[in-house]
Chains A and B, each alone.
Chain A
C-alpha cells in the first residue's frame, strides 16, 4: 500500500488498517493487519518480527551459565520463571536437583513474579478498556513486590536469580517479614480491584461474551495458561508436571468454562489469590540448608536432548536443549506461551468490533518480546 495512493480496498466496502507496530494497546511492537467492514473485523493477520533478537541463536554461543540471562528478556514480566525453566533444564541434564531451600525460594519468587505480572495485566486491562485509574492502583501493589525483588535479587524486572543448581544468593534477612507484610496488603486490596473493575457494568458489557474460545479451539491453537483454563482446559504445569516441589503445596488449579474475555479475566483474578495462598504456605517453611547445589565451574551437559516445561504467568514455557557435550548448547528452542496464544487471536476476534479486539488482546495478556524472542 503506497503512502499517498488510493486506500487499499480489497472488496466492496472492505477497509484495511494496520494496528501497530506502534499502537497504544498492542503493548509492544506487534503489528496486526486488520480487515474491517465498518467497525466489524473480518480478518486479522499478525505480523511478527519487529522485536526478534534471536535469543535462541544467541544462546547457542553462550555457556550454560550465561544463556539463562538472555531469557529474562523474553517474557520480561515472568523473568524469574523463565530463568527457573532454564535452570531446571540444565539441572535435568546434569542429573542434579536444587537443594530444598533453593527450591522453596524459587517457588516463592516465581509466585511473586506471577502475582506482580497479573497485577500489571489487571491495570493494563483497565487501561485498554478506557479506564485509566486501575493502572495506578495496580502499580501501587506491584511496586511493593518489585521492592522485595530488588532487595533480594538486586534487580526489579530482570531478576536473573536462578542459576543451575539453585539460586544465586541466599534471600535477604528481611525477606520473610517483608513478604508477609506485602501479602497482607495485597490481600486487603483485592476488594478494591473488584470494586474498581470487576463489578462495573460497562466492564462486564465490554468483556462478557466477547472473544469466545472453545476448549477444542484452545487445544488446537495450543493455548495454555489462563487463556486455555478459561475455556475449561486443564493445563496447569504446576499440577500436571510438578517441578521444584509444587507437588507438596496445596493450591487449586483455576478452571472456568466461560471461554470469553470476562472468564479469562476472572481466572487471572483467582490465580492471584492462589499465588498469595502458595506464598503464605511457604514463607514460614523455607527449609534450612544450602541455597545452591555444587556444580562445576564450566557446565557441560552430556550428549542428548533435555526438555523442561514450567507454568509462567501466561502459560506453558518449554525449554528444549540439544547438547553435543560441549560447554554451550548445540541447539535451543523455547516453546513460548504467547506465540501460541496469539495464534488464537484472529479466530477469537473475527466478527467482533475494534473495541473488542482491544479487550481480547488485553485478556490474552500478550507480551510481545516473548512472541518474537
Chain B
C-alpha cells in the first residue's frame, strides 16, 4: 500500500520530465517530446477504449433486445469489433466524383481530432491529467463545438441531399444544445469558483456536487445528460444520422476508414461527455467521501482513484446507451422545442438558484 501511495502518477511524469530535460538540454524540444508522448499514449488509450465501447454498446443492445449479441469471434465475441475494424480498414474509401474532395476528406479528421482534443483537461486518476489548464471547463465547451464544423463540412462536401439535410439538422441541434450543456456546467463552476478541472475535483473532497448541491445540481446533472446526448448526436437525438429518414445522414457517402473515423469520434465523444459529467457532478477520480467521516473516507481511499473515475464514467455511458435502445427518435421541430422551450429556460432559472445557493452558502 505504501508503494502504491508513494509512486503516484505525478512522480512518474516528473521523472520523465527531469530525464528529458537532462538529456535534451533544449526546453522547446523537451516540450515537443512530452506533447508527442502524451498524444501517443492518448491514441494508445483511445483505440482499446473505442473497441471496448463498441463491444459494450452491442452487448447492452443485445441485453435490452432479448438476444445474445456478438458471441462468435473471440471469447464471448470480444474480438468481433477487431474483426470489424479490419474489415473497415480493408474497405475502399470512396470519394464521390462530384464531391468537394478536399473538404470531404478533411471532415472526418476534424471530427476525430476535435473529440480527442477535448480529452486534454480530463483527470483520469489522481494527478493523471494531460493538461491542467486554468480554463478547463471553458476549453471543453469551446473545443467540443468545433465538431459541428466537421459535420457540416461532411454534409456539404458529399454532394448528397440526404447528407446536406443531416448536416443542417446537426448544425441546428448542436448549436442549440450547447447552450444547455454550457449552463449546466456553469452551475458547477459557480459552486466551485474555478474553471480548472483539478480544482473542481478537489472541491468535492467532502462529497460530490450531486449530493452537496441539493436539487438544483441534480437538475443540472439531468439537463447535462440529456443535452450532451443531443450534442453528441446519439439516439433519441440522432437526427443527423436518422437512418430511417435520411439513410445515414451526414455520413451517407462515407465508406471504409473515413466512415470508421466518424464512428470513432462518436465513441470518443460518448466517453468524453460522460467523463466530464463524472468529473463535474460525480467527483471525477475523487472517492466517495461523506463530510468529516474520516474513517469511512479513509476506507474509500483504498479503492484506486482511476477505478472511481472509470466506474463513474461508465455508469453514465451505460445510461446514455440505454437511451439509444429505449426511445424513439424525436422530430426535428420537437428537438428544437425541447431545447428552446424547456431545457434552456429551466437551466437558466436553475443557474439563478445555484448562484443564490452559492452566495448564501446553503450547500454542504
Q: Which residues on A sit within 8 Å (CB–CB) of B334?
A: 202, 205-206
Count residues of chain A with CB under 8 A from any CB of chain B: 33
Chain A, residue nearest B330 (CB): A202
Q: How far is the CA of A31 from the CA of B65 in the complex (A)?
A: 31
**Complex contact B65–A136 (CB within 8 A):** yes
User: Which of A121-129, A249-257, A270-278 faces chain B?
Assistant: A121-129
User: Shortest CB–CB separation between residue A40 and chain B, in angstroms?
Assistant: 10
Q: Which residues on B sit within 8 Å (CB–CB) of A129?
A: 244, 328-329
**Complex contact B245–A202 (CB within 8 A):** no
Any A CB within 8 A of the CB of B325:
yes
8 Å CB contact of A130 from B97, B169, B329? B329
Any B CB within 8 A of the CB of A49:
no
Q: Which residues on A sit within 8 Å (CB–CB) of B165?
A: 17, 39, 354
Chain B, residue nearest A22 (CB): B247
Any A CB within 8 A of the CB of B301:
no
Any B CB within 8 A of the CB of A330:
no
Q: Which residues on A sit within 8 Å (CB–CB) of B325?
A: 132-133
Any A CB within 8 A of the CB of B64:
yes
Chain B, residue nearest A125 (CB): B328
User: Shortest CB–CB separation between residue A306 and chain B, in angstroms?
Assistant: 42
User: Shortest CB–CB separation between residue A1 and chain B, in angstroms?
Assistant: 10
Q: How far is the CA of A133 from the CA of B236 in the complex (A)?
A: 13
Query: Which B96-111 residues have a C-beta within 8 angstroms of A?
Result: 97-98
Q: How far is the CA of A90 from the CA of B318 in the complex (A)?
A: 59
Chain A, residue nearest B326 (CB): A133
Any B CB within 8 A of the CB of A358:
yes
Q: How far is the CA of A140 from the CA of B67 in the complex (A)?
A: 10
Q: How far is the CA of A7 from the CA of B245 in the complex (A)?
A: 20
Q: Which residues on B sit within 8 Å (CB–CB) of A200?
A: 327-328
8 Å CB contact of B332 from A39, A128, A205, A358? A39
**Complex contact A206–B162 (CB within 8 A):** no
User: Shortest CB–CB separation between residue B162 and chain A, in angstroms?
Assistant: 7
Q: Which residues on B sit within 8 Å (CB–CB) of A15?
A: 161
User: Shortest CB–CB separation between residue B69 and chain A, in angstroms?
Assistant: 12
Contact pattern, A 109-147, Cβ under 8 Å of B = 1, otherwise 0? 000000000000000001111111101110010000000
Any B CB within 8 A of the CB of A24:
yes
Any B CB within 8 A of the CB of A197:
yes
Any A CB within 8 A of the CB of B294:
no
Any B CB within 8 A of the CB of A203:
yes
Q: How far is the CA of A140 from the CA of B329 in the complex (A)?
A: 23
Query: Which A1-40 residues have a C-beta within 8 angstroms of B?
Result: 3-4, 7, 15, 17, 23-25, 39
User: Shortest CB–CB separation between residue A212 and chain B, in angstroms?
Assistant: 16
**Complex contact B329–A202 (CB within 8 A):** yes
Any B CB within 8 A of the CB of A75:
no
Given contacts A17-B161, A136-B67, A202-B327, whether A353 and B332 have CB atoms under 8 Å apart is: yes
Interface size range of chain B in the complex: 20 to 34
Contact pattern, B 294-326, Cβ under 8 Å of A = 1, otherwise 0? 000000000000000000000000000000011
Q: How far is the CA of A224 from the CA of B331 in the complex (A)?
A: 28
**Complex contact A355–B245 (CB within 8 A):** yes
Q: Which residues on B sit within 8 Å (CB–CB) of A357?
A: 245
**Complex contact A24–B243 (CB within 8 A):** yes
Contact pattern, A 200-226, Cβ under 8 Å of B = 1, otherwise 0? 101101100000000000000000000
**Complex contact A353–B65 (CB within 8 A):** no
Any B CB within 8 A of the CB of A365:
no
User: Shortest CB–CB separation between residue B297 and chain A, in angstroms?
Assistant: 41
Given contacts A205-B334, A354-B165, whether A126 and B66 have CB atoms under 8 Å apart is: no
Contact pattern, B 233-260, Cβ under 8 Å of A = 1, otherwise 0? 0011011001111110000000000000
Q: Which residues on B sit within 8 Å (CB–CB) of A353?
A: 331-333
Q: Which residues on A sit within 8 Å (CB–CB) of B247?
A: 23-24
Given contacts A202-B329, A353-B331, whether A140 and B66 have CB atoms under 8 Å apart is: yes
**Complex contact A354–B245 (CB within 8 A):** yes
**Complex contact A17–B162 (CB within 8 A):** yes
**Complex contact A355–B332 (CB within 8 A):** yes
User: Shortest CB–CB separation between residue A139 and chain B, in angstroms?
Assistant: 9
Q: Which residues on A sit within 8 Å (CB–CB) of B169?
A: 39
**Complex contact A358–B328 (CB within 8 A):** no
Contact pattern, A 341-360, Cβ under 8 Å of B = 1, otherwise 0? 00000000000011111100
Q: Which residues on B sit within 8 Å (CB–CB) of A354?
A: 165, 245-246, 332
Q: How far is the CA of A94 from the CA of B40 in the complex (A)?
A: 82
Q: Which residues on A sit within 8 Å (CB–CB) of B245?
A: 25, 354-355, 357-358
Q: Which residues on B sit within 8 Å (CB–CB) of A25?
A: 244-245
User: Shortest CB–CB separation between residue A364 and chain B, in angstroms?
Assistant: 15
User: Shortest CB–CB separation between residue B363 and chain A, in angstroms?
Assistant: 32
Q: How far is the CA of A202 from the CA of B242 in the complex (A)?
A: 15
**Complex contact B331–A205 (CB within 8 A):** yes
**Complex contact A131–B328 (CB within 8 A):** yes
Q: How far is the CA of A250 from the CA of B158 in the complex (A)?
A: 58
Q: Which residues on A sit within 8 Å (CB–CB) of B239?
A: 355
Contact pattern, B 208-249, Cβ under 8 Å of A = 1, otherwise 0? 000000000000000000000000000110110011111100
User: Shortest CB–CB separation between residue B256 and chain A, in angstroms?
Assistant: 20
**Complex contact A130–B235 (CB within 8 A):** yes
Chain B, residue nearest A137 (CB): B66
Q: Which residues on B sit within 8 Å (CB–CB) of A137?
A: 65-66
**Complex contact B328–A136 (CB within 8 A):** no
Chain B, residue nearest A17 (CB): B161
User: Shortest CB–CB separation between residue A177 and chain B, in angstroms?
Assistant: 25
Chain A positions near chain B (C-beta within 8 angstroms):
3-4, 7, 15, 17, 23-25, 39, 126-133, 135-137, 140, 197, 200, 202-203, 205-206, 353-358
4 tightest A-B contacts by CB? A130-B329, A129-B328, A136-B65, A355-B331
Can you identify 22 A-B contacts, CB atoms within 8 angstroms? A24-B243, A24-B244, A25-B244, A127-B244, A129-B329, A130-B236, A130-B238, A130-B327, A130-B329, A132-B61, A132-B65, A136-B66, A137-B65, A137-B66, A140-B66, A202-B327, A206-B329, A206-B330, A206-B334, A354-B332, A355-B329, A355-B332
Chain B positions near chain A (C-beta within 8 angstroms):
61, 64-67, 97-98, 161-162, 165, 169, 235-236, 238-239, 242-247, 325-334
11 other contacts beyond A130-B238, A354-B246, with CB at 8 A cut-off? A17-B161, A24-B244, A39-B333, A126-B328, A131-B328, A132-B61, A200-B328, A202-B334, A206-B328, A206-B329, A206-B330
